[in-house]
Amino acid sequence: MKKLSFEKICSIIAFIFLIGSFFNLVPIKYNKSTKEYNGYYYSNQLKEI
Domain boundaries along the sequence of the chain:
2-48
Is the pLDDT confidence value at 48 over 50? no
pLDDT at 4: 76
Query: Cα separations (Å) of 42 from 3, 17, 18, 28?
Result: 37, 19, 21, 12
Asked whether residue 25 carries a pLDDT value surpassing 60, the answer given is no
Full-model pTM: 0.37
